[in-house]
Chains A and B, each alone.
Chain A
């Protein structure tokens, strides 16, 4: 089976299984998928939304690819994302009053990167020093991060002029610039540049190769004299930092503020995407576009057709399950052939 099929088959199977679920819900699958496509890709407004949504997803994908290639399972993305988002939302409206807009935007992104990176240090250190599995610790830190983000909004950054707990709002004029009069902000350009840089980092540089060696065999890495602990910490920080950058871009480009209890949970959504792309930075761009259009289309369809928005999540779960199944069958077949 060639690579294209190994990737397309899980998606097709998931869409099929999704259709069955829709029939059980009493909805017409063709109408649903048609509407999702229409709204996500084939209408100018929808397409703009889709491309806008790609920006944070791509940056998160970049962060996950760096980590996963190095065998570091950073599953704490949601906590890192939310903390960075809250800090950005709190800072931006204040900073813009005392400094130029461009500088404000850049400083906010840098600080978001740093905040998220700091939030990854504990799991990174525990793994590097004591070999404690980072899946558990990064997930725990994620829950803590989400709670802390809410507490920050409610206790420290609550905008006194609002009734619901939320931060002050960055004025639309102060947000990330739009591209050529469209609604798409320049975050997508930043995300594309970052994902391509990450791809080059992993395939062309000594640093990327070292990460791959650590990821493939920590024992061989140690034998070869690589500083496995330090590389693990750097990888974790870079991964989390890129996820923090994703949050900054989304806040500075789209929302302008953070409400308490807001949690888009993008971190977990992107995990299947990077696996579909086999941790390839270029391939993930296509998958992100596909998934982004599904999200945008699904959000409209939820309002219009009454299929719950969570159906998109179900589809993603199905994609992941079928991906695993196809991989497993293919692996067995290859093993037989000894290829």
Chain B
């Protein structure tokens, strides 16, 4: 995209479109190296980023993508190598300097302040001694919104926005100053298909205006659709790439095959027959639902108070049978989080009941629900799912503190705790230096693996229902596939699965039935099969169930 359409490009030198030689890059890195204790996160990386081009960075979890971005954004300091902006070497010591150089970054984990309004969040970047110039800020907001085709209310608190809208605020913030390079670290991992389409439109526009875009993603289809050029990192090294002209001539399948070969270490490479699954080609859904069995989870007429940020639930009811996977689709903010939290016991419904294995657990708190056999994988992995300042080992047992056999009469058996953690780390391929590493030091995808390992790993207790909220968010292809397989195995073992996801492909791959939440109501439940995707799409826009 970007090289065929759009108005004349302001940043590119005249004649660039006709000349075969590329204009000099706006941003380059040369033999950039960054070491952390025990790992070389970036190992002599050299790359060029060109105006008007979308450069996609691919790589498995922990490959070093966010580290590279951290150095460009002034959050990390390189150990060796240099960064060049329009050919001249620069030193980027602070995020402010990065912005001053025209580099805007949208990080993997959101950095907005939920209680402040959109416009206040955008003005936060300014120096503290400057008077907050609201008038100018509103003008800039209007200008940027128009240019990007975004419509947001600048005075709404950010906490009230959907994730997709928050993403837009992050992009506005990255573009707030005159930005020549826009970096996005996994911006689509939480978005619905529609959200991804909106984002693509914005990126296309920016590209055509001559902005250089750096995009990190784990979805190869996006890399194909959005990218002009692809680079692949593995274990901190640049292991290959697809140049712009090459990329243009390729089919999606060709590119995908080539990229997968580059991306994965042969030892971890997915089997050939898994590749189709991995790419979402061919629905391998093998239902394991036990139709005759009594439901393991009954949700009866649940309503919750509406929160300012999202719709409350209104009379949601469904049954879940052992071995069944019930997908829940819908745009974020339509009640997904409330539903998950009501089932997990984190939120009290204003009316209605929840039954697990026929027993009413509505009054039970989180611990009681867990004892009743409910597990919950949250989508807020940093906010509530984990504690960054504690070790990986403790995070793996965060919900079992005090339980046998890791604690005897309340006294910790550290040897056993660490051994269990090492087993989990191996089983779930969590890339960490050791089990005692602080969780915050892990890459995004590896933190997600910790979360999954915690709820899936130990079969202790009698697990009846597992609620997954965006379970593969931030996982690379291989690990997403691994997670899917584990979810299927759980279902096959007779557990009921509630799968909340914004990723329609994921829902279609795993679910037996798919319900759609719209404005707090369960507007319909569709049996998975031919035509299900289209039916869900209609329901998601609020059309009444057929």
Contacts and interface: CB of A to CB of B under 8 A. Distances in A.
A216 B387 contact: yes
A338 B384 contact: no
B410 A206 contact: yes
Contact of B399 (A204, A206, A225, A336): A225
A212 B390 contact: yes
A109 to B, nearest CB: 24
Interface of B is mostly: loop
Nearest to A206: B402
Nearest to A219: B384
Contacts of A336: 76-77, 93
A222 B346 contact: yes
Contacts of B76: 336, 338
Q: Which of A225, A226, A227 has the most CB of B within 10 A?
A: A225
A204 B390 CA distance: 14
A247 B390 CA distance: 34
B401 A337 contact: no
Contact of A220 (B36, B70, B385, B402): B385
A339 B76 CA distance: 9
Contacts of B412: 204-206, 209
B367 interface: yes
B407 interface: yes
B398 A220 contact: yes
Contact of A338 (B36, B369, B376): B36
Interface of B: 34, 36-37, 67, 70, 75-77, 93, 345-346, 365-367, 369-370, 376, 378, 383-390, 394, 398-399, 401-402, 407, 410-412
Interface in A214-241: 216-217, 219-220, 222-227
Nearest to B407: A206
Contacts of A219: 383-384
A223 B378 contact: yes
A127 interface: no
Contacts of A225: 345, 365-367, 369-370, 399
Interface SS of chain A: helix, strand, loop or mixed?
A: helix
A213 B390 contact: yes
A227 to B, nearest CB: 8
24 contacts: A205-B407, A205-B410, A205-B411, A206-B401, A206-B402, A206-B410, A210-B402, A213-B390, A213-B401, A216-B390, A219-B384, A220-B385, A220-B387, A223-B366, A223-B376, A224-B399, A224-B401, A225-B366, A225-B369, A226-B367, A227-B367, A337-B77, A338-B75, A339-B36
A143 interface: no
A207 B410 CA distance: 7
Interface in A1-33: none
Interface of A: 204-207, 209-210, 212-213, 216-217, 219-220, 222-227, 335-339
A337 B385 CA distance: 27
Nearest to B390: A216
Contacts of B401: 206, 209-210, 213, 224, 226
A216 B365 CA distance: 21
Contacts of A224: 366, 398-399, 401
Contact of A216 (B36, B93, B378, B389): B389
A339 B401 CA distance: 28
A207 B412 CA distance: 10
B387 A213 contact: yes
Given A222-B384, A225-B399, A209 B77 contact: no
Given A209-B401, A225-B399, 8 more contacts: A205-B407, A206-B402, A213-B387, A213-B401, A217-B387, A220-B385, A220-B398, A223-B378
